[in-house]
Structure 1
Amino acid sequence: MTTPPRAIISQPNRQGSIGRSPFSSSYLSASPIAQESIARDLAECSDDEEEPDSPSSEDESEASTIREPGHQDATSHSMASSYRRPSFVAFGGTRPAIAGVAQNPASEAHWLTKKEKKQSRNEERSLLRDNHLAPPKHPESSERSAFSELYRRIFSTKRPKEGDEETQAPLSTAEPSETSTLLDNGTRESSRTHHERLNRQWEAAVAAGKIKTTWQREAKTLWRYSSPLVVTFILQYSLTVASIFAVGHIGPIELGAVSLASMTANISGYAIYQGLATSLDTLCAQAYGSGRKHLVGLQMQRMIYFLWVLTIPIGIIWFFAEKILELIVPEKRSAELAGLYLRILIIGAPGYACFESGKRFMQAQGLFSATTYVLLVAAPLNAFLNWLLVWHFDLGFIGAPIAVAVTDNLLPVFLFLYVYFIDGRQCWSGFTKRALKNWGPMVKLALPGLLMVEAEFLAFEILTLASSYISTTHLAAQSILSTLTALTFQIPFPISIAASTRVANLIGATLTDAAKTSAKVAFVAATIVGVFNVILLSTLRSYIPQLFTNDQDVIDLVAKVLPICAAFQLFDALAANCNGLLRGLGQQEIGGYVNLFCYYVIAMPISFGTAFGLHWELEGLWTGVAIALGLVAAAEGFFLYKTNWQQAVDDAQDRNAAG
């Protein structure tokens, strides 16, 4: 089972648990192409088709009080206007090459759901309380034990009172607190009055520069945002690991063939599906934001049909992959097994294409937890199928691609069951012939995403192809090494997404100092994770390979090269964190250029020069990667160190004003 690339995440946000993702709604981009597509669809809508839901009175009151970009005055700094939406997050991946390039920020459309508005209000209230500008949520006890006092000093998110803050009254004491239900005259406070008061209180505090944050708050936020994503990423990547575990113990040739087949499937199939489906991140999200929910399902149908049409040429390539690989790979047996793997994989291609489209359909509605629940069922089932078919039924190598194909087709089935029985049906109006028309805007939006994803796959998958020119043993070892380094990345990458979220939110809310504090906490977290990965791979380098294969030559080779992979784990984690912070600052194009230069201009020549010119073989291939990651972390870290954070806040305000 293959997985998407690692670094194509846009701006994410929000709370977190397995049940409710921290990324509760999709990033909305007011792309002219997307607007053109939606306008065409609306023009073709008949009068009896679904109309947008009419807002409730509470929604109207919230809309009037929590002003969004394009409707707010220049002095409004509500957290609601600072939220940044992700394109897609529910996947694991291999190695990053090029960060996503931001769309025109001046044209971003921010449409907040009722749930998101509530989240923004809760965040504002919490910050006000932590800065002693609002009454505490719960009355503080006058007497504390030594243990509770120590716990409060270490873990409490409240800022310590300084100087005049000891005697300064909260900004809200003259008015009811957030728990008040009655006004001074005994009448009940209306929802609109309540929200207006909160906005005035928040904006006054921001204008006075009184909103600060603590490392404890940022650490808790980082944990809350990233922990569900770590689970999701690891679950999806386990689909790949399961096949490698199952086949690796058959022999080194089979292990190498799985890696070769995965590389071919990535470049010629999965990258195409994933890259083209990125257009739904804009189309579905903007359709949902427009209030025409039935258009979300229409866009998904259109993409599914488009990807199914492309499955025909992809299937032809996979069917004849053995002949193609024999011309490229010196080991004919590896090419033969890889070709067999890909021929069986054709069966699962339509299901995978459907799942990629359905995933965007759910994310546009803010239902990111749907993918997590699907994977909680699919990942263990996939592991069981690999064991059942490869070993219990003695199908051997052929059992692994059968398990992958079955899982690929079950993923959209599980997602459909989630939509039907749990949530997501509100954006589905049934099948329609209109999905067979108006493909032009979709294709225009999809091509840049396709090129980006293909570039990311090529940057590292080419190392697998290069290892096949050394020996079968080296190809098998490369399969294990690439799997391990990708698996360890599933922790720092979600942390980088969380850091991107938090920094983008704080920058949008004009909280410069808070954004800096959050960035520092993210750097510390990335360093801890990187050091942990270094220690893990270094100390267990002789034991980990035995989980994948019984071949002693492969085990010895992996143990020999693994220290190089362990050495760059810290750089890997820091580079991922820098990419996340750059996305949060709206400077992701910087990360894209740095990654492009380091991987293609520096890493590849060094890898091939040391591997084949100096005969370092597999150690040489990974030396170039290690140097590139170190340079990426250093270059992006230096850029962040020199970044004018206040200028980033001013730019965010200009974008909101332009909206």
Structure 2
Amino acid sequence: MSMPRSIGSGPAPRHGSIARSSFSASYLSQSPIAQESIARDLAEYSDDEIEQPESDSEESGSEDESDASTVRPNAPQHSMASSYRRPSFVAFGGTRPAITPHGAEGTFLTKKEKKQARDEERSLLRDNHLAPPKHPEPSRRNTLSRIYKKVFSTKTPKTESDLEDPPEALFSAEPSESSTLLSNGPPESKRSRREREDREWEAAVASGKIKTTWQREAKTLMTNASPLVITFVLQYSLTVASIFTVGHLGTLELGAVSLASMTANISGYAIYQGLATSLDTLCAQAYGSGRKHLVGLQFQRMVYFLWALTIPIGIFWLLAEKILELIVPERESARLAGLYLRILLLGAPGYSAFEAGKRFMQAQGLFSSCTYVLLIAAPLNAFMNWLFVWQFKWGFVGAPIAVAITDTLLPILLFLYVRFVDGRQCWNGFTKKAFRNWGPMIRLALPGLLMVEAEFLAFEILTLASSYISTTHLAAQSVLGTVTALTFQIPFPISIAASTRVANLIGATLSGAAKTSAKVAFIVACGVGLFNVALLFFLRSYIPRLFTTDPEVIRLVSTVLPICAAFQLFDALAANCNGLLRGLGYQEFGGWVNLFCYYVVAMPISLGTAFGLGWQLEGLWTGPAIALGLVAAAEGWFLTTANWEKAVEDARERNSNG
């Protein structure tokens, strides 16, 4: 399998990091451990050192202008903003997870997130004819314009009551005799305008007038998912570049890369990614409390902690050749894999720092920063792989050198973004306090570590098992794992966007609109799944030639690809169902279903058919195919029978408690 290049704490492709991807307030909670950590940190600062949280008073402007990432204190419970979640997943790329992660972070909102939520509320009011349109309707439309509006318009059809009661009569968006906005009166402050908009939204939700259309949900889903798909594909290209270049060197080299990636995933990257997930809570709650200097402190503390862990990880990687010789039957594969890991160790400090840096940026709502970093790093990585392996004639060692350089460049590029673009407001300089108060951070990080390790192991077992068949099968497994992980980069980010949308609508108590959004997401997932089915099936003889010239590997991959193609529809539907479950706040159910299907069903079937029945590589992939079908069926059944109104009530209760 290929090495996960995840940009976040979340899953991505086949054995990637945990996907902490739900934004919904439907399962909000604040971590007592995180609060304990913040309290300890504040106790170590003098009064002069402590940065006071920004006031939400009138003098400091509206809450939209405050950088403090807090939930609007006076916002109505039905507000879209009160349901919005920070997407702590940011699992841009990497390998597909075997288990749907679950958990909750803080309830805090950044300035950008609150603005997005308010814009969404205003847009829904306009689409339901409850507020004046953003742009005046033209007096006349031509035939094409009328057809376009009929098919693609996001507005709900007007009813008789809408025609009798114009939007100005429902919600006064402009000054009137009953408003306080007379020309000779005081101007409406930003806070007053926000409060008026809150009342308008609350009244519309309470009266059951907020509805949505499939056109609007499709537009929203595509708008939110498109940049994620691009970023995921960019991130995973870091892995694909190495597989491409090494695969054409020979079968042995291709299999060794897969073996090295498996070892690096389990013993290194899973540890970095799992432990760094604690910053999803620590940094978010520090930022939400208005103590911005504590965000930088938590980031420093995690970097030092991960660097300390790099010492035992590095010792293991240096001895990996001897260890792998005891596990895998092919000694030359073990030797090359050990060489790969020794070189890869040079980039481990950079990779771990970047894992922490991502959370540092996400806590501030700067999610696009990692995308900009990838736009530079991904093409550069591909160029270095080609340059080192083929132009400089370094051969096999050129690939890990390119990876190590890229891993080192990632935090440097992120630092440049913070220094010259955005993110400096949470950096208060280096401090010795980062070497203290590690206890809460470690306690909060351990559950994430265990979950990520469980995700990695599920598919890495298949890689290890393929090495017991032959070197050729190990090389073919590397190609198959890379291809199926690459196809997963489309449905997974779409599921994240669907999770976000459903979570927001559930948090806003709009169960009907949430159901409409879920149906649209289901149709889109079916379309993506069928596209992947056709892609892998009809190109099964051409895809393996992109990775290798070995005829036996090409034959094996071509033989197994139809099995991989067959479960692409289930794969997309399972990803979509997982996203919808997270949005509804039922992610616990999804986690247990995935855990059962992969470890209790898939692994025994894979090993039994591969070795017991002699199906070899076809048998190894039969287990995941059956597991994905079961996951899609079980979670789909749960979603169709779930009480969505109860999810709304749960969201309202947790919003209040949060």
Instruction: Give me the TM-score of the superposition, normalised by structure 2.
Output: 0.94
Aligned twin of 2:32: 32
Partner Cα separation in structure 1 for residue 427 and residue 28 of structure 2 = 19
Unaligned runs of 5+ in 1: 15-24
Question: Shift in Å at residue 122 of structure 1?
Answer: 1.2
Alignment pair present for 1:118 and 2:120: no
Q: Which amino acid aligns with 2:101?
A: G
Alignment pair present for 1:534 and 2:516: no
Partner Cα separation in structure 1 for residue 317 and residue 408 of structure 2 = 17
Check conservation: 1:234, 1:490, Cα contact below 8 A. yes
Check conservation: 2:93, 2:236, Cα contact below 8 A. yes
Question: Shift in Å at residue 60 of structure 1?
Answer: 5.2
Question: Shift in Å at residue 471 of structure 1?
Answer: 0.8
Aligned twin of 2:412: 413
Aligned twin of 2:45: 45
Check conservation: 1:70, 1:658, Cα contact below 8 A. no
Question: Shift in Å at residue 58 of structure 1?
Answer: 7.0
Pick closer, same or farther for the CA change 1:165–1:173 going to 2, 3 Å. closer
Alignment of 1:319-398 (within 5 A): 319-398=318-397
Pick closer, same or farther for the CA change 1:178–1:42 going to 2, 3 Å. farther
Partner Cα separation in structure 1 for residue 532 and residue 200 of structure 2 = 45
Pick closer, same or farther for the CA change 1:53–1:351 going to 2, 3 Å. same
Question: Shift in Å at residue 50 of structure 1?
Answer: 4.8
Q: Secondary structure at the match of 2:585?
A: coil
Alignment of 1:463-474 (within 5 A): 463-474=462-473
Partner Cα separation in structure 1 for residue 607 and residue 46 of structure 2 = 60
Alignment pair present for 1:132 and 2:129: yes
Alignment pair present for 1:91 and 2:92: yes
Check conservation: 1:88, 1:360, Cα contact below 8 A. no
Question: Shift in Å at residue 658 of structure 1?
Answer: 2.2
Pick closer, same or farther for the CA change 1:541–1:620 going to 2, 3 Å. same
Alignment pair present for 1:217 and 2:219: no
Pick closer, same or farther for the CA change 1:194–1:600 going to 2, 3 Å. same
Partner Cα separation in structure 1 for residue 561 and residue 263 of structure 2 = 24
Aligned twin of 2:243: 244
Q: Which amino acid aligns with 1:87?
A: S
Question: Shift in Å at residue 9 of structure 1?
Answer: 2.4
Partner Cα separation in structure 2 for residue 401 and residue 34 of structure 1 = 37
Check conservation: 1:28, 1:282, Cα contact below 8 A. no
Question: Shift in Å at residue 112 of structure 1?
Answer: 2.7
Q: Once the two structures are superposed, what CA deviation does each residue of 1:292-315 show, in whole Å capped at 9, x if it has no partner? A: 111111111111111111101100
Partner Cα separation in structure 1 for residue 59 and residue 534 of structure 2 = 53
Aligned twin of 1:196: 195
Aligned twin of 2:641: 642
Aligned twin of 1:605: 604
Question: Shift in Å at residue 173 of structure 1?
Answer: 5.4
Q: Which amino acid aligns with 1:629?
A: L
- Bigger drift between 458-467 and 199-208 goes to 199-208
Check conservation: 1:68, 1:80, Cα contact below 8 A. no
- Bigger drift between 245-254 and 192-201 goes to 192-201
Alignment of 1:224-243 (within 5 A): 224-243=223-242
Question: Shift in Å at residue 520 of structure 1?
Answer: 0.5
Partner Cα separation in structure 1 for residue 123 and residue 72 of structure 2 = 26
Check conservation: 1:284, 1:295, Cα contact below 8 A. yes
Check conservation: 1:134, 1:170, Cα contact below 8 A. yes
- Bigger drift between 564-573 and 109-118 goes to 109-118
Aligned twin of 2:424: 425
Partner Cα separation in structure 2 for residue 230 and residue 359 of structure 1 = 18
Q: Which of 7, 19, 23 is equivalent to 1:9?
A: 19
Partner Cα separation in structure 1 for residue 350 and residue 73 of structure 2 = 42
Partner Cα separation in structure 2 for residue 413 and residue 228 of structure 1 = 23
Question: Shift in Å at residue 348 of structure 1?
Answer: 0.7
Q: Once the two structures are superposed, what CA deviation does each residue of 1:189-225 show, in whole Å capped at 9, x if it has no partner? A: 2222322221121111111100000111111111111
Q: Secondary structure at the match of 1:327?
A: helix
Question: Shift in Å at residue 48 of structure 1?
Answer: 2.8
Aligned twin of 2:402: 403
Question: Shift in Å at residue 288 of structure 1?
Answer: 0.7
Check conservation: 1:28, 1:289, Cα contact below 8 A. no
Partner Cα separation in structure 1 for residue 421 and residue 161 of structure 2 = 52
Partner Cα separation in structure 2 for residue 624 and residue 153 of structure 1 = 46
Partner Cα separation in structure 1 for residue 354 and residue 421 of structure 2 = 17
Q: Secondary structure at the match of 1:481?
A: helix
Q: Secondary structure at the match of 1:189?
A: coil
Aligned twin of 1:77: 78
Partner Cα separation in structure 2 for residue 174 and residue 467 of structure 1 = 65
Aligned twin of 2:140: 143
Check conservation: 1:250, 1:396, Cα contact below 8 A. yes
Pick closer, same or farther for the CA change 1:186–1:8 going to 2, 3 Å. farther
Pick closer, same or farther for the CA change 1:182–1:204 going to 2, 3 Å. closer
Q: Once the two structures are superposed, what CA deviation does each residue of 1:4-44 show, in whole Å capped at 9, x if it has no partner? A: 44373234459xxxxxxxxxx9x985200000000000000
Pick closer, same or farther for the CA change 1:617–1:658 going to 2, 3 Å. same
Pick closer, same or farther for the CA change 1:385–1:179 going to 2, 3 Å. farther
Question: Shift in Å at residue 61 of structure 1?
Answer: 4.0
Pick closer, same or farther for the CA change 1:656–1:319 going to 2, 3 Å. same
Percent sequence identity is 73
Q: Once the two structures are superposed, what CA deviation does each residue of 1:395-452 show, in whole Å capped at 9, x if it has no partner? A: 1001111111111111111111111111111111111111001000000001000000
Aligned twin of 2:102: 101
Q: Once the two structures are superposed, what CA deviation does each residue of 1:482-519 show, in whole Å capped at 9, x if it has no partner? A: 00000000010000100110111000100010000000
Pick closer, same or farther for the CA change 1:69–1:405 going to 2, 3 Å. closer
Partner Cα separation in structure 2 for residue 59 and residue 642 of structure 1 = 48
Q: Which amino acid aligns with 2:20?
A: S
Aligned twin of 1:504: 503
Q: Secondary structure at the match of 2:167?
A: coil
Q: Secondary structure at the match of 1:400?
A: helix
Check conservation: 1:135, 1:177, Cα contact below 8 A. no
Aligned twin of 2:516: 517
Partner Cα separation in structure 1 for residue 90 and residue 143 of structure 2 = 43
Question: Shift in Å at residue 64 of structure 1?
Answer: 13
Question: Shift in Å at residue 252 of structure 1?
Answer: 0.4
Question: Shift in Å at residue 98 of structure 1?
Answer: 1.6
Aligned twin of 1:17: none
Aligned twin of 2:181: 183
Question: Shift in Å at residue 654 of structure 1?
Answer: 1.1
Q: Once the two structures are superposed, what CA deviation does each residue of 1:83-134 show, in whole Å capped at 9, x if it has no partner? A: 122223142121222222224xxxx642333333222221111101100111
Unaligned runs of 5+ in 2: none
Pick closer, same or farther for the CA change 1:172–1:415 going to 2, 3 Å. farther
Q: Which amino acid aligns with 1:111?
A: F
Pick closer, same or farther for the CA change 1:425–1:174 going to 2, 3 Å. closer
Q: Which amino acid aligns with 1:413?
A: I
Check conservation: 2:5, 2:236, Cα contact below 8 A. yes
Check conservation: 2:280, 2:359, Cα contact below 8 A. yes
Partner Cα separation in structure 1 for residue 462 and residue 109 of structure 2 = 44
Pick closer, same or farther for the CA change 1:240–1:637 going to 2, 3 Å. same
Q: Secondary structure at the match of 1:615?
A: coil
Q: Which amino acid aligns with 1:603?
A: A
- Bigger drift between 45-54 and 581-590 goes to 45-54
Partner Cα separation in structure 1 for residue 134 and residue 61 of structure 2 = 27
